[in-house]
Structure 1
Amino acid sequence: MIVSNTDTTNSGIDLTNCESEPIHIPGYIQSHGFLVAISADDFVIRYASENAASFVNRPAADLLGKPLEDLVSETDLPAVDLVAILNVGKRENTWSRMNPHHFRLNGQEWNLIAHQHDHLIILEWEPVVSAQGNLDQQLVAEALTEVQSNRTLTELIQNTARRVKQIIGYDRVMVYRFGSDWHGEVIAEEKEPHLEPYLGLHYPASDIPRQARELYKTNLVRIIADVGSTPSPIFSVNSQSENRPLDLTHSVLRAVSPIHIEYLKNMGVQASMSISLLYRGELWGLISCHHSTPRFVDFPARQAAKFVSQLLSSALEFRKNEEDQSFLFQVQQNEQKLNSQILEDWDIVVGLTQHPVSALNITSATGAVLVFDNKFYSMGSVPSDSAVAGITNWLGTESFDTVFETDRLPELYPMAEAFRDVASGMLAVVLSKELNEYLLWFKPEQVRQVTWAGNPAKPVTISNDGKPFLHPRKSFEAWSQTVRNTSEPWKDAEISVAIKLREDVLQVVSRKANEVRQLNERLRVAYEELDAFSYTVSHDLRTPLSSIRCYAEIIMEEQGGIMDDDTRVMFQKILDSTERMRSLIRHILYYSRMGRTELNFQPLNMAKMLDVIRDEIMVTENKKNRHLRIEYGKLPTIFGDPTMVNQVFTNLISNATKYSRLAPESVVRVAGRETAEEVIYTVKDNGIGFDMKHATKMFDLFKRLENAASFEGTGVGLAIVKRIMSRHKGKIWFHSDPNRETTFSVSFPKENQTS
């Protein structure tokens, strides 16, 4: 039985709801080309678009379940050639480099674009357009030369729009940048003279819903050749394995959402094309192209336009990295100066507020306040003391432990609207929630006049059953809005350096605790009791756990010959679980013992220690990561306890190697440097990284970040490192870029400062 691949009545999805529309499985393709999908193992046709009949003179239903040769027999290409091409692509996974394949169907020239998804190879045919190949190559070469020159980013963006327009011949080409809230702005435009300009217009986030933005990260080029054409349905054999819509995530012919078609018609657009602009793997913006009549751009021309856009993406990343690194270096230098001032003055307030370099200088904020010992110490332009008191009281009710940041403070704390001119943005680090002590930085309101392309609110229609449905906007006349209560966003570098400063301040506060904390002794006693309790419980758990493991091993040894496979698997799971439990107990015991263990301070030969650690890790990582390098820079001597310092670096280097396994070439670099007061070591990797905004519980017991869930671990290692550093009167901090790199830094006091 042949079935249509377009039925969504059983999915519970209403296609007027653009945020839940399943746009990757529309069940249709655009009608300017046709599609078949074959099983990757036997090359049997499992799916075919209805319009295939128009191109191969054979009904789509007649192709389903047939070998690929039945389709190829209708072409001018020998079947053995196409099968050979597909076998190469499947074996070497070189689909992107092989596309397109050029051949004839019924006397017409076609491009075949192939890709593999799950167990299917999807073949899509598009017509060949008389190419302007030489002009495309010339424009690409010019773009490459320009990126390598010292052109400003604004010029590069504008010239990219111009070159893309020359390649594809559309009426209008815009470069569209997303904001942090996913609203977009047209920042460059090339258009025909008779068209009204869109430059500077803003579009709401709802115009490009979330699932569409995710697809833009996968499919970098998307064309809609004819808004008014009738899409062709996809049919499949109604078998158990194919009883679901064909996933067209990577398709070039994927049909267009009815909502988006309505949106384009409302704009007077008959053809469109979008090219993604990425920054660090995330969607930064789009090159959005519109044409007033149907217009198809063939695959090679689209690839040329894509290459030009990728050059722009590379320029974005290079320029942004330069800017970020320069800013990060400056604020880190200021933070180091603050740390020296605090240690020299032995006074938190003086060190942070009464020198030419103050706490204000580690961010781009215009004001900062130190709230300490029930007093307010202000730097720059800040709210009144009573307003700051209200902010800190409110922060005490919020659920965060280390750092809090927002560029929309009045939205979260309505009282802030009264002083939005100085504090629409706030970054706060906690010194002590119990004592209501914080370091606060403020950024002023940035009043913006935003001109939208029409009222950004979509019209709402009420259905017969009373449910509201969103529809595309019909009017795109300029609609102005004044945006209030927002500030410039906080950079990751600002958050990272603020966390480091917090560590510096808390270290001094901890060392002066006997002078300013009356409850210190009671807390110490309670801590020791809890420490002893955790040690006792963890120790006592080992005996019954050993018994469980022993009995399981005896049963497997004595009964293994008569066990069925399922029973043997269950017993193996018991053994594996006991081993994981033993590892967890061992970590907990080590953590609890640190409170009682006497430290044996001595100068440590770090080269010798790290060589041993590297050899051990390379042995255990050999099967998991064959492309691992552990490199060393300068390795100055550390004054500390050899066992505990070994544990610090074993944990940090092991984590770095583990979380960089997915990198093509895993590189972990350990390097040290000396200052007048301390020895600082960094452990840097090129692994999965993490978002600094989600790392506030990094050193908590049993806490792990979401993107580390697929890696083995107990969530105890960094808590151990943190405690060891505290006992050495040292510090630990970190900085990370998601999917790029992570750096953990530890500092140990010089020998004469540890006593």
Structure 2
Amino acid sequence: MIPESFDLTNCDREPIHILGHIQSHGYLIAIQPDTYSIVHASENISDLVGIPAAGLLGQPIDTLLTATDLPANSLIELLNVTRRNESWESLNPHRMTVNGKSWNLIMHQHQHLVLLEWEPVGDDRNTLINQQLISQALTEVQSSRTLAELLQNTARRVKTIIGFDRVMVYQFNEDWHGRVVAEEKDEHLEPFLGLHYPASDIPRQARELYTINLVRLIADVSSVPSPILSAPDWPVDKPLDLTHSVLRAVSPVHIQYLKNMGVQASMSISLLYRGKLWGLISCHNSTPHFSDFTARQAAKFVSQLLSAALEFRKDKEDQTNLLQYQQTGQQLHEQLLISDDVVRALTKLPVTALDVTDATGAALVFNNKVYRLGQTPDEKAIRALTDWMGTATTESFLETNRLPALYPPAEEFRAVGAGLLAIVLSRELNEYLLWFKPEQVQQVTWAGNPDKPVTVDDDGMRRLSPRTSFAAWTEIVRNTSSPWTEAEISVVVKLREDILQIVTRQANEIRLLNQRLQLAYDELDAFSYTVSHDLRTPLSSIRCYAEILLEEYGEDFTPDAQALFQKVIDSTERMRRLIRHILYYSRMGRTELDTQTINMKQLLEGIREEILVTEKDRSLRIEIGDTPPIVADPTMALQLFTNLLSNAAKYTQLAHEGIVRVKGHQTDGEVIYSVEDNGIGFDMKQAGKMFDLFKRLENARNFEGSGVGLAIVKRIVNRHQGKIWFHSEPNQGTVFHVSFPVTPAD
């Protein structure tokens, strides 16, 4: 193995989007859209237009046009129309004749420059053939009975379209190493099906580009790339960004990698699942091979069909599993309500805690006893594990399919517990509910030893170089279980709320948690006093002085100085709001409840009106369904639903049309409301941070917020002896559920 001290990430830092060259089979210029003057040109452009690149730089595009047989205004008119309509993709490729030869012109705009790239045109006879192949591909996607059959059909169809020697479907794992899951190849080639490739073979920045540019062609590995020249006055520190270029040159590291494999041409087509990189259709050829833009687009369309089919199949499977787990979770909830005995409801009745996931073992640590179901570690090991959890994590649940990597003693019981999903019932009392999955020993066959050799540069820097051998190399992977699904996590999060509701009801006066809460309340009182008296007064002074300076002397300030003063004023306003939220949070635990029957239709319509006024500059729809009344404190209910609906509206800002749906229904013992949106969603594996004070999820950091709103919501729900749970998926929206007892809370 390579020591950790070696530089294993130099590939990840290579700036592959600004390599400064293009592949030699095409030509490139970059122009400024306001003047149409040429600021970058590939050195080989003279082969196309007969003028050296240096003679074009700094000149208007007319200089290029007059050197060819193009009508002088045709390209300019095309650029004008395309820029006005912002429809670059709709016109790509644009067929044009330059000096008697046909070329495909591909255009795009990026970072305030318009890039024009010329590529050779393929055989027109293939266009009709490709259309027929696409039609056949659509039929195959609909008729494929299994995922393996679907992937294999796609590989065969793409190979027919582009004519490469080998076409593979390559699926990424969670740690970004990949495996060949389908392959179509010429008979004389050795099979790669089933082989694994390490994550370092496709470094991070390459994976990021694959989500932007879905098709990547390397026509001739051995060709000499053409450098990109820049106008004399162009800043040296602003090289041309080729992120969206179809001719972008290839990293020298990747060139050597392909040569080591005996590959002279390659092509990659991205496979996406919910906007994330799921895998690649990877194509290899033993000789240089060029597929024109039209053929590549046909192959891309087939890959998009596959991506859509993957998403449909996965969504259907996930929904089926989620429904099954939810039904089991509901049975457990009913058992908890009927028996009022947590241990009996979870471990002694026909449906147990083991049934809400695909785990093979479960353990309840409660009231200083351990109750085991199925195949689990022994009691001593479970107690040691929960002791470690009490100090190792602050979140309300933990999930991993590689427990020994986090907790080395788990290697002793990996046969039954290599994977762990755990919820915290009481950290102070060391009470947990745990689920275990056994180790799945895997024999992984790599395409060569995945540990790349280390080389030492002239400057003494130790770096990785591409593997030179791709002979099959087998490794036994241990200490890993099958992963936990989003459906399993979602149901477990809900079950935790169900259990805590019962536990709180049973031990409201005697549990150690109340003592700690009282101490927290006392500390919060002191904190509230500090906030209100020591922070609010100087904050008001800062805002007042800044406004006076801006009003009295603003005309004498530079624009930058005026902007800085405005930032001071805006920052004090944000801090004022945060202080107000903190004060509300601290007081809420001690405010007496004034429970009343609340007209929810009137309350929700008022909240909707306020939100739509503040969000009037975008398309937002808030739909209100059934609105059964609830029994709650009116002020707290208003605060709760305002927070939930405002959050839902805020996180739909990236959607073409934001949609928020709120509705309620009543059961025998509770009223349940749901608030659903089509916003950015989040990974359920981050659910443990949801209600923590000042904690915000990673994908929400670009949205304004204090991290207090949901903590307030959680406190209000607890005060009313209710529950709150949620389900979400990245880019698929979020749904929150809150329940209120029909009988008023004491």
The TM-score, its normalising length taken from structure 1, stands at: 0.94
Q: Deviations over 1:701-725 (max 9, x none)?
A: 2222232222222221111111111
Corresponding residue for residue 181 of structure 1: 175
Candidates 32, 40, 63, aligned match of 1:39: 32
Name the CA shift for 1:547/1:31 in 2 (closer, same or farther; >3 Å). closer
Q: 1:528 to 1:75 in 2, by over 3 A?
A: same
Counterparts of 1:331-370 in structure 2, within 5 Å, are 331-370=325-364
Q: Note if 1:668 corresponds to 2:654.
A: no
Partner of 1:268: 262
Deviation at 1:560, TM superposition (A): 5.6
- 1:503 and 2:497 aligned: yes
Cα root mean square deviation, aligned:
2.0
> Structure 2 regions of 5+ residues with no counterpart?
1-6
Are 2:19 and 1:26 aligned? yes
Quote the offset at 1:613 in angstroms. 0.7
Aligned AA (1:693): K
Question: Partner of 2:322 in structure 1?
Answer: 328
Contact 1:732/1:745 (8 A) holds in 2: yes
The 10-residue stretch of structure 1 (506-515 or 197-206) with the greater mean CA deviation from structure 2? 506-515
Determine the structure 2 residue equivalent to 1:248: 242
Shift of 1:226: 0.6
Question: Take 1:652 and 1:734, find their aligned partners in 2: how far apart are those partners?
Answer: 12
Greater CA deviation, 79-88 or 168-177? 79-88
Given that residues 39 and 234 in structure 2 are in contact (C-alpha distance below 8 angstroms), is that contact kept between their aligned partners in structure 1?
A: no
Deviations 1:570-628 (A, max 9, x none): 543443233223222221222222123221222222111111110111011102xx210
For 1:262 and 1:38, the matched residues in 2 are separated by: 33
**Residue of 508, 518, 534 corresponding to 2:527:** 534
Who is 1:100 aligned against?
Answer: 93
* Ranges in structure 1 where 5+ consecutive residues have no aligned partner: 1-13
8 A contact 2:428–2:513 mirrored in 1:
no
Q: Does 1:651 align with 2:625?
A: no
Query: How far apart are the structure 1 equivalents of 2:393 and 2:652?
Result: 31
Within 5 Å, give how 1:429-444 maps onto structure 2: 429-444=423-438
**Helix, strand or coil: the match of 2:282?**
strand
How far is 1:468 from its partner? 2.1
- Change over 3 Å in CA distance of 1:514–1:717 after alignment to 2: closer
Correspondence 1:685-704 to 2 at 5 A:
685-704=677-696
Change (3 A) 1:304 1:601: same
Pick which of 566-575 and 383-392 moved more: 566-575
Q: Cα 1:280–1:561, aligned 2, differ >3 Å: closer, same or farther?
A: closer
1:460 corresponds, among 454, 460, 476, to 454
Q: Name the aligned partner's letter for residue 31 of structure 2.
A: I
Give the aligned residue type for 2:97.
R
Distance 1:188 1:566, change over 3 A: closer
Secondary structure in 2 matching 1:335: helix
Give the residue type in structure 2 aligned to 1:89: T
Q: What amino acid is the match of 2:96? A: F
1:595 to 589, 597, 600: 589
Look up the SS of the partner of 1:24 in the other structure.
helix
The offset of 1:569, in angstroms, is: 4.1
Classify the secondary structure of the residue corresponding to 1:75.
Answer: coil
Q: 2:624 aligns with which of 632, 636, 650?
A: 632
> Structure 2: how far apart are the matches of 1:194 and 1:606?
72
- Correspondence for 2:3: none
The superposition leaves residues 672-705 of structure 1 with CA deviations (integer Å, 9 ceiling, x where unpaired) of 2223222211111111222222342222222222
Structure 1 range deviating more: 104-113 or 310-319:
104-113
What amino acid is aligned across from residue 389 of structure 1 in structure 2? R
CA contact (8 A) 1:729 1:748 kept: yes
Moved more, 740-749 or 610-619: 740-749
Shift of 1:657: 0.5
Structure 1 residue corresponding to 2:707, chosen from 707, 710, 715 = 715
Q: Distance in 2 between matches of 1:202 and 1:589?
A: 55
- 8 Å Cα contact 1:128/1:298 also seen in 2: yes
- Render the CA deviation track for 1:146-195: whole Å, top value 9, x for unaligned: 33346322222111111101100111111111111111111111111111
Alpha-carbon separation, structure 2, partners of 1:16 and 1:364: 37
Indicate the SS of the match to 1:696. Answer: helix
1:49-448 equivalence runs, <5 A:
49-131=42-124, 132-149=126-143, 151-241=145-235, 243-448=237-442
Whole-Å separation in 2 of the counterparts to 1:315 and 1:372:
45
- 1:460 and 1:117 map into 2 onto residues whose CA distance is 37
8 A contact 1:75–1:106 mirrored in 2: yes
The alignment of Structure 1 onto Structure 2 pairs a total of residues equal to 738
The 3-state SS of whatever aligns with 2:12 is: coil
Q: Kindly indicate whether the alpha-carbon contact (under 8 Å) linking 1:164 and 1:173 is maintained by their aligned counterparts in 2.
A: yes
Query: Counterpart of 2:578 in structure 1: which amino acid?
Result: L
Q: Is the 8 A contact 1:16 1:259 kept in 2?
A: no
Whether contact under 8 Å (2:411, 2:479) holds in the other structure is yes
Deviation digits for residues 302-337 of structure 1 (CA, Å, limit 9, x no counterpart): 000000000000000010000111111111121122
Deviates more, 1:639-648 or 1:540-549: 540-549
CA contact (8 A) 1:76 1:103 kept: no
Once the two structures are TM-superposed, the CA of residue 535 in structure 1 deviates from its matched residue by: 3.5
> Residues 411, 555 of structure 1: CA spacing in aligned structure 2 closer, same or farther, 3 A cutoff?
closer
